[in-house]
Amino acid sequence: MSGKLFVISGPSGSGKTTIVTRVLSNVENLRFSTSYTTRSMRAGEVRGEHYEFVSREKFQSMIKQGSFAEWAEVHGNFYGTPRAYIEKWIETGIDVILDIDVQGARRLRGVFDDAVFIFVVPPSLEILEQRLRDRKSEEEGDISIRLGIVKEEVACSKCYDYIIINDEADIAARRIEAVILSQRQRDGEDSRQRMLAAATRDVRTENVYGPVFLRKFGLK
Ligand code: 5GP
């Protein structure tokens, strides 16, 4: 069985990073897709863990080589999801979680049609602004840019499969975990149904066994 993509978006300051970190430590068989970015590294960030930090030139050449499953310009910097990484995990049956913006999510929707899209919103605009200021990682100008596009981003939430309000990180993380686990359950059930359908077809084609045999295996 192949893995699934869980795409998380939400305005800057909505608390996605904290939530995703918690989800990753609580759910097995789930990997984080580390994006490439041209923005500069913030204090506390680890190269290769939070992002692969690259120059604009390097990013442009990766676009040309088709290295990204999607990429977008966000708040004046480039961000991209490395294609090889997510394809490798999906092929080996591992689920992948991505933290990407609304443009990137839109692009992925056309490529991975069974991906699950989750949008994280802060409880209010005021709380979002407070969180952005509290984390003290952006300049004032950068905070204004980020706040400026919040309404546009939130308007895109209607295209997502789930909207999670982040009033408390632990609760929001648990809600996302519930989405992932129930999706896995559903996928498992789907493949069981497909197996049953195939078994029923084979048995009927051979026309050897009657209804008693079918009932024995739970088939009608
Ligand atoms: P930040 O600079 O605060 O880490 O991220 C800014 C925005 O870029 C966030 O909304 C984040 O979800 C988004 N982002 C991070 N990585 C990617 C990516 O690979 N592709 C796209 N399209 N957006 C990304």
Atom of ligand 1 nearest to the CA of 102: 22
The CA distance from 207 to 186, in Å, is 31
Residue ranges covered by each domain of the chain: 5-33+94-215
Cα of 79 vs centre of ligand 1, distance in Å, is 6
Report the nearest atom of ligand 1 relative to the CA of 17: 4
Q: Which residues pair with 96 in a beta bridge?
A: 5, 31
Q: Atom 24, ligand 1: which residue's CA is nearest?
A: 100
- 132-176 pLDDT tens trace: 888 777 777 888 888 888 888 889 999 999 999 999 999 999 999
Q: What is the pLDDT of residues 165-180, one digit of tens each?
A: 999 999 999 999 999 9
- What's the pLDDT score for residue 205? 45
The per-residue pLDDT for 220 is 57
Instruction: Give the contacts of 45 (CB within 8 A, at least 6 positions apart).
Output: 51
Q: 58 vs 6, 38, 51, 52, 67, CA distance in Å?
A: 27, 9, 14, 11, 11
Of residues 189 and 177, the one with the higher pLDDT is 177
How far does residue 37's CA lie from ligand 1's centre (Å)?
A: 8
Q: How many CA atoms lie within 13 A of 147 on its CB side?
A: 17
Query: Is residue 161 a contact partner of residue 116, using CB atoms and an 8 Å limit?
Result: yes
Using the CB atoms, write b or e for 117-138: b if 16+ within 10 Å. bbbbbbeeeeebbebbeeeeeb
Pocket test for ligand 1, best of 38, 45, 98, 100 (most atoms within 8 A of CB): 100
Each residue of 53-94: pLDDT tens digit? 999 999 999 999 999 999 999 989 999 999 999 999 999 999
Kindly report the average pLDDT of the chain as a whole number. Answer: 88
Nearest CA to ligand 1 atom 1: 12
5-33+94-215 homologous superfamily: P-loop containing nucleotide triphosphate hydrolases (3.40.50.300)
Atom of ligand 1 nearest to the CA of 81: 19
Q: Which one of 6, 16, 35 would you pick to mutate in the ligand 1 pocket, going by the greatest count of ligand atoms within 8 A of its CB?
A: 35
Site residues for ligand 1, CB cut-off 6 Å: 12, 35, 39, 70, 72, 74-75, 79-81, 99-101, 103-104
Is the pLDDT confidence value at 203 over 80? Answer: no
pLDDT of 207 reads: 47
Count other C-beta atoms under 10 Å from residue 181's C-beta: 11
For the CA of 11, the closest atom of ligand 1 is: 10
List the residue whose alpha carbon is closest to atom 12 of ligand 1. Answer: 100
**What are φ and ψ of residue 203, in 5° steps?**
-60, -45
Q: Across residues 194-220, what is the average pLDDT? A: 60
3-state secondary structure of 8: strand
pLDDT at 3 (0 to 100): 93
- What's the CA gap between 130 and 140, in Å, rounded? 12
Residue 7 has pLDDT above 90, yes or no: yes
Q: Which residue has the higher pLDDT, 211 or 107?
A: 107
Ligand 1 atom closest to residue 105's alpha carbon, by position in its atom list: 22
pLDDT of res. 190: 77
Q: Can you tell me the distance from the alpha carbon of 5 to that of 97, in angstroms, rounded to the nearest whole number?
A: 6
- What does the pLDDT average to over 202-207? 49
For residues 120 and 156, give the distance between their C-alpha atoms in angstroms, rounded to a whole number: 11
The confidence score (pLDDT) of residue 142 equals 82
What is this structure's pTM?
0.85
pLDDT at 131: 84
